[in-house]
Amino acid sequence: MFLSLIIYFSTDFMIKEMGQIRHGIGMGIIFYAYDCLINEKKKKFLLVVLLATLFHFSAICVLPLYFIYNLKKSIFFYFTSIFLLLPFVAFDIKGMIFKLMSLLPIESFSSKAELYSGSEFANRIGFSSTFFLLIIMFCILLFLKYRTTYKPQIINVFVNIYFLGLIYFMVFNSISEFSLRTNVYFRMLDIIILPILIYNFRYRIIGLLLLVLILLNTFKTLNTRYNDEAISFTYFPYQSVFD
């Protein structure tokens, strides 16, 4: 528990508690929805996801888990899928995505397409440090699934949750706001995955190295926001003698 709190406070706390509060509440509720999937309470899962969307509509991206959370596929399937999605990361296709969203008969999607098109939130992420960390964490989950006997049913659910998050991150890579806002619902599983590795003596060094990488990536992200005068005060409203 203590290690999970350290990871949370060093990654999501500053952004979700200082600025994106509704989004943070939605994430917390979705965490409970994952528990429903692990315990095979699918109807309760739908109700919890619906509750999360009342705080932030982006939580609706978790709904496909209802159909795939218990998917049992080979390593070849997962890596082939990731390979086929690489063009979404390599090329800027935001124009096509915004066009498709504007045609959807859902007002929330079409209005978001109009709002973010041409804005600073529509930048392509590309092959960033975050992307490679996601790939590494997904590989670790596959390792736990196919090479260990640690709670196989739960790890399988985690693999499919993380896999869906990777799909969102890659498909919406040309629009940073969509890519990060959707993927974070799945990436927050790091709070559970890393303690599993670190408290399991055999894989402790792997967990510790990943924790260091995540902390370094978080420092890079926070430093970027701190140096952006337009948004820095939102996330860093406090001053100290070091300022």
In-domain check, residue 214: yes
What per-residue confidence (pLDDT) applies to 220?
59
Please tell me the distance from the alpha carbon of residue 145 to that of residue 141, in angstroms, as a whole number. Answer: 6
- Tokens, residue 29: 């509720």
Instruction: Name the residue among 49, 41, 8, 31 with its Cα closest to residue 186.
Output: 31
> Quick one: average pLDDT of 117-121?
59
Please tell me the distance from the alpha carbon of residue 224 to that of residue 75, in angstroms, as a whole number. Answer: 36
Domain ranges, residue 75 = 2-235
In-domain check, residue 243: no
In-domain check, residue 242: no
171-217 pLDDT, tens per residue?
Answer: 988 888 788 888 889 988 888 877 777 776 566 666 667 667 666 66
Instruction: Name the residue among 166, 175, 159 with its Cα closest to residue 130.
Output: 166
> Quick one: average pLDDT of 214-221?
63
What per-residue confidence (pLDDT) applies to 87?
92
The more confidently predicted of residues 222 and 98 is 98
- Tokens, residue 55: 């705080």
pLDDT band with cut points at 50, 70 and 90 for residue 96: confident
Total structural domains in the chain?
1
Whole-model pTM: value is 0.78
In-domain check, residue 241: no
8-34 pLDDT, tens per residue?
Answer: 766 666 666 666 788 888 888 998 999
